Amino acid sequence: MSSKKVLPPYVCTYQGDLLAGVDEVGRGPLAGDVVAAAVILDPARPIEGLADSKKLSEKKRELLFDEICENAQSYSIARATVQEIDQVNILQASLLAMGRAVKQLSVQPEFVLVDGNKKPEWSYPCDTVVKGDSRVAAIAAASILAKVTRDREMLELDAEYPGYGLAGHKGYPTKAHIRALQELGPSSIHRVSFAPVKRLLVDFA
């Protein structure tokens, strides 16, 4: 019987206070922007309960969102648009959004930890951390800000683009979303470079 591998806690070589964590949300959906956040936590104002945003309830994420905004030394939320995703591909758009989030911090970091195994092209000393949103508090905080922001935006887009069910699936390729796309056709917020949307564009053309 196999057990799920648990990664050890991440130990950063940088020991100062200006450490930023950065993460993105929205690589998998067929619709909407990819959203990134960067956070520099304040050691004097610790935040309890930080974890991978996907493992938290919506209520807990909302509470932590406010607490992070109130207690972090600095935070920033940025994005890459649907048009940019279609132009440069989703990986490069995700890196673009993360780069923008860090650059927009009101307090510039001395070191950056990036969730995953890819990093933006920038001059910041940094390290990548696989599953960093479960191993690094600052990355977890960034993942919460990014997810709450994107989820809220999808609720707003659901009202603007009714019929797709965006409030429920947040743009991800669920059966209900694919069925709605087949019935209504892609909208202007759908990523035409993604195969399911691209195929439907041909059909509707």
Answer for the pair 107, 73: CB distance below 8 angstroms, yes or no: yes
Q: Does the annotation place 23 within a ligand binding site?
A: yes
Alpha-carbon distances of 108 from 104, 142, 188, 196, rounded to whole Å? 8, 15, 35, 40
Answer for the pair 34, 90: CB distance below 8 angstroms, yes or no: yes
> Which regions of 13-125 does DSSP assign to beta strands (E)?
19-25, 34-40, 74-80, 111-115
Measured between alpha carbons, how far is 60 from 110 in angstroms, rounded to an integer?
Answer: 30
Tokens 């994107």 belong to residue? 150
Supply 46's token pair: 């610790």
Q: Does the annotation place 115 within a ligand binding site?
A: yes
Q: Does the annotation place 24 within a ligand binding site?
A: yes
Binding residues for a divalent metal cation: 23-24, 115
Binding-site residues, in ranges, read 23-24, 115
